[in-house]
Structure 1
Amino acid sequence: MAPSSASAVPERVRDTASSIAALRALEHARGANGLIRDPFAEALAGTDAMTRVRERRSRAPGDGDDNPSTSTAGRTGARSRARGGRGDDGRVAIRTKFFDDAAVEYLATIDRARGGEAARQVVLLGAGYDTRAWRLEAPSAEARTNTTVFEVDVESVLERKREIMGDAELTLCDRRVAVHCDMERTDWTEALRGSGFREGLPTVWILEGLMYYLSPRVARSMLRRCFDMGGHSSALVVSVVNPAALARARGSDPLRAKLARCFGRGEQKSARAMWMSACDAPPVEYFAPWTLDLAAQLGEAGCDFGRWTGSKPSPVPTDARSFRADVVPRTFYVRASKPASA
């Protein structure tokens, strides 16, 4: 992701992380009507991000966070407000719910396959201000006792989280380990092993909002390393974009954006301008040797939850050539698993 000092972490990326936490906080404030519960999100977001997100929602219904596959700028805000998606069409709430459900369901699968007494791990790569260790429930008390959560990110982010979370009670696991690492520039696998990660144990890997910030080489290598390091019954939950979404995010001059990233020159319009990689083959091929369980776009079955207020997504090309040539920007939320035979 970014260099390991606070001053070197791109400001726009920090702002985006805070904004997403703020959107989770607004979803939490919906109470029983919300898709998720996150009582920690507002403190993690901070006052500036909360103000910024509230203002953006009030003046720009349909302004999205991470999925440019459907344009909502021309729609009125009434439909969006009625369904609770004002400002981002429900993207962050839906994404968070998708990842929450997948993580809990995969942990329950490990329980069924190996029993609650089996040790298991959850690894959040690019953890940012994620709070799943404190707000999701383990499948059983026994499973919680035998679950370790590893959060991997730059030191400045994880240290701020530590200060804010304090001694809040862990609910998903018995032990949480902060792993300080710049995943783009250093060997994150060695950092993980050095922090107590045990290869061969069933592991749920969570890569939310991370992959497009990595170079194509690092992104593809990460998927393979996750597969190799986790044992049978391991699983992967990840968000990716297609080449058209990457091209749109980087604008008409990708070389200029790359130079800005490398040398700190030029003004980045948004965090998206720092995207570097895309899912450049149909998901069933791109994620191999993982077994693809689901690759969903917002608004499709399994990625709606009755809250998507954007346009219905168009069908995805299935052959490799058509997929790469597709001009529709798309974001995919993906669930994949490691079969027992692997």
Structure 2
Amino acid sequence: MDHPVETTALLVAAMRAEESIRSDRLFEDPFAHDLAGEAGRAALRDYRAASGASIPIIEVRTRYYDEALLRAQDAGITQFVILAAGMDARAYRLPFRSHARLFELDQRAMIEAKARGLSAAEPRCERHALAVNLADDWPAVLLAAGFDPNAPTAWLAEGLLQYLEASVVHGLFERIGRLSARGSVLLYDVVGEALLSVMRESVLRYMRELGAPWIFATDDPASLAAAHGFQTEITDASVIGNAWGRWPFPATPPHVQGVPRGYLVEARKG
């Protein structure tokens, strides 16, 4: 696969595969190695060469959202939607209840590639893989597949927003808001403006050349969901990374301005 979106998904899978074999791993994804393939491992080598360092943001956010999805399930939610699911294998590796329904939305090539990588595996819940571009009318596709807008839903938009224009981001949240019943949970991550501005030019250039530039950032991540009736809880990735003993530098207090930050958001409607 040589589409930029597909390559970034393989890159993330390769990172998850590496994490899964660490003695101090934050999670275990037994499917990530096969899903990444040689293309994903090559992309990871190129990314590491460009970055010159390794900050475990992918690893930290993966565990954070693993736990958040299971908290939603413990609260009684049985309907889940993963937007731009990529090589996400949570339907296969998390202890979802068998009657839970999980909808994965992504482009057709991605859906088909993941199907090949998981051909020998069985999901642990009722999984629906929907081929659709998020720029198109994906709510109609979701509803046609049996999504119930009257049931509380746990939404996940992981590693997605930084690739979108601001207008597309706001349109995405507006659609989610319309489809979310009271009690729904919305999980997403946002790049802070200072983080985007201080990223190594070699990394930004690598992403641009890949065709997947980072273009969206904000230091007001709560407003994205709050505008649609959600109450938000914001976590600085460096804070939880330090709590788990895996962040390479100390967390900076939230009142300090101009600090590079990545935000992890857990929002609830009603």
Under a length normalisation based on structure 2, what TM-score does the superposition of the two structures give? 0.86
Matched residues, percent identical? 30
**1:30 counterpart letter in structure 2:** R
Distance 2:160 2:141 in 1: 18
Which residue is 1:197 aligned to? 147
Q: What pairs up with 1:134-283 in 2 under 5 angstroms?
A: 134-138=92-96, 144-171=97-124, 173=125, 175-184=126-135, 186-247=136-197, 268-269=208-209, 274-279=213-218, 282-283=220-221
Structure 1 residue 54: Cα displacement:
5.8
CA contact (8 A) 2:10 2:43 kept: no
Alignment partner of 2:238: what SS? coil
Q: How many pairs does the alignment contain?
A: 266
Which residue is 2:37 aligned to? 46
Alignment partner of 2:134: what SS? coil
Alignment partner of 1:103: what SS? helix
Alignment partner of 2:122: what SS? coil
Equivalent residue in structure 1 for 2:250, among 312, 315, 325: 312
CA contact (8 A) 1:249 1:275 kept: no
Distance 1:223 1:56 in 2: 30
Structure 1 unaligned regions, length at least 5: 1-5, 64-72, 74-86, 112-119, 139-143, 258-266, 319-325
Change (3 A) 1:314 1:109: same
Write out per-residue CA displacement over residues 123-163 of structure 1, whole angstroms, 9 at most, x where no aligned residue: 0001000000000002xxxxx23311100010001100011
Distance 2:146 2:46 in 1: 43
Name the stretch that deviates more: 124-133 or 219-228: 219-228
Which residue is 1:29 aligned to? 21
Which residue is 2:262 aligned to? 331
Distance 1:34 1:247 in 2: 30
TM-align CA RMSD: 2.9
Change (3 A) 1:338 1:132: same
Distance 1:191 1:28 in 2: 34
CA contact (8 A) 1:94 1:305 kept: no
Structure 1 residue 50: Cα displacement:
2.3
Which residue is 1:83 aligned to? none
Q: What pairs up with 1:287-298 in 2 under 5 angstroms?
A: 287-288=225-226, 289-293=229-233, 295-298=234-237
Structure 2 unaligned regions, length at least 5: none
Q: What pairs up with 1:54-133 in 2 under 5 angstroms?
A: 63=51, 88-110=54-76, 120-133=78-91
Which residue is 2:7 aligned to? 15
Q: Which has the larger radius of gyration?
A: 1
**1:90 counterpart letter in structure 2:** P
